[in-house]
Chains A and B, each alone.
Chain A
Amino acid sequence: MDTKHPLVLPDGGPLVRFADVTKRYGDLTVLDQLNLDIGHNEMVSIIGPSGSGKTTVLRVLMTLEAINDGVIYLDGDPLTHMPKGNGLVVANEKYLRQKRTGIGMVFQQFNLFPHMTALQNCIEAPIQVLGMNRDEAEDRAIDLLRLVGMYEKKDQHPSRLSGGQQQRVAIARALAMRPKVMLLDEVTSALDPEVIGEVLNVIRSLNSEHNLTMIMVTHQMGFAREISDRVCFFYAGKIAEQGTPDQLFDDPQNDRTKQFLRAVLDAN
């Protein structure tokens, strides 16, 4: 039972809060007492070297993995834990399913369902999980596919789509569930260079026109700089430095941040 953390956050607090979150894989500590707040409608980019824990931040928020210590809050309520008496206990599956619906994730490898068309991929969860009726789900899916520019290919299976096209469908699929926060896990890392742009354009429009709260793990420094409200540099399971894009990219304070940015620039 965790009694160090509040049972509920006060009004006007962040949309997402990581409170002293620790995640270990055996002997390896991947997240080390992480404290991070994400505000409503905020666009946060997470950058850093491999193994720094960036992807794990998204994975534990999506409840794909359990945390070892600390609590994650979503929209004021605990996500990874549930209230019991005057403390918090680890959430059971029933509780998780209630809360999880507020989070959407787009994966590096797209992970579309291969036995369904693009449209079917986007209506499956709304119908099965949200209990929507088929017509309503299809209408919404069609709107979203239009939004990501994939309306023409709505009846194609993923095997007929390029990487960039699949990723755009994956974004539509996640949006169909109307999440409060969207998690983007290196969504362009598996794409050929010429199709990266089309995916970034979709994310750009989501950010500017729809004001969605997003947490993006990325290696695309230029893009991160362009659209983020805040950039976090991760190192060894902790946030080494964070700030506005201008602050972090133009005037990094931390040595490791400087090292990393230099290495990235050299590579380009």
Chain B
Amino acid sequence: MNYWEFLIQYLPKMASGAVMTVSVMICALLLAVTISIIFGLMRITNSKPIQGVAFVYIEFFRGTSLLVQLYWIYYVLPLMGLTLSPFMSGVIALGLNFGAYGAEVVRGGIQAVPKAQWEAALALNFSSKQRIRRIIIPQTFTIILPPAANLTVELLKATALVALITVVDLMFVAKQLNATTWLSAQVFGTALLVYYAMARFALIPFLRWLEVLAARKVGKS
């Protein structure tokens, strides 16, 4: 069969796999963002113990392989009594892993806000909490958008790994189709094209739009 016939027959199935890919990504993204904010803030508190906890978490999840973390959550946790569905295992592993990278981005962003802003807020007698919430965090947001955007694209690519723990995403469908049809070039080639399309023509424009929004908030466009 030629490529066109191949697409007509198999693209719907791959599309449903892609939908699962996007679902995994969005859920993992929500978890990762939450963790990034919490642990990023923990890294800059004055309390040494809290800083330490965040440091250990971040270095642990950045220093170990995502696939190993994924397998551990899916295969080993059940042996300790905690059984999660493939989807949940995938989301949690991705969320914990990318949350660690995100926490470093948040930390870098907060530290990149000029010291003068902290001083101006102190001079106006803001409390520590008010200062961080009203003055520092909004400025951090603009700073962290570019590296956060990169991490998001990486997250999209990393979702392919959940196919290895039987989540029926785009990669899983591709492997299945390959095993049944042996049309490897078409199957994996199309899978690559779909991932590319998702990243280049949907995700990246969306992230760029966010950056424009943030710039507008600071009156820069």
Contacts and interface: CB of A to CB of B under 8 A. Distances in A.
Interface of A: 62-64, 93, 97, 100-101, 103-105, 107, 109, 111-115, 117, 124-125, 128-129, 156-160, 173-174, 177
Contacts of B128: 93
A114 B218 contact: yes
A150 to B, nearest CB: 15
Contacts, number: 66
B139 interface: yes
A37 B117 CA distance: 29
Contact of B218 (A64, A107, A115, A174): A115
A174 B123 contact: yes
Report the contact-size class of chain B (Cβ under 8 Å from the partner): 20 to 34
Contact of B119 (A97, A111, A159): A111
Nearest to A96: B125
Contacts of A97: 125, 127
Most buried by B among A103, A117, A124: A124
Contact of B126 (A103, A105, A129): A129
Given A129-B126, A129-B130, A113 B120 contact: yes
Contacts of B220: 157, 159
B123 A115 contact: no
B217 interface: yes
Contacts of B135: 113
27 contacts: A62-B122, A62-B123, A64-B122, A64-B123, A97-B125, A97-B127, A101-B125, A103-B123, A107-B120, A111-B116, A111-B117, A113-B135, A113-B139, A114-B139, A114-B219, A115-B142, A115-B218, A117-B219, A125-B124, A125-B125, A125-B126, A157-B218, A157-B219, A157-B220, A158-B219, A159-B219, A160-B219
B124 A107 contact: no
Contacts of B142: 115
B125 A124 contact: no
A100 B125 contact: yes
Contacts of B116: 107, 109, 111
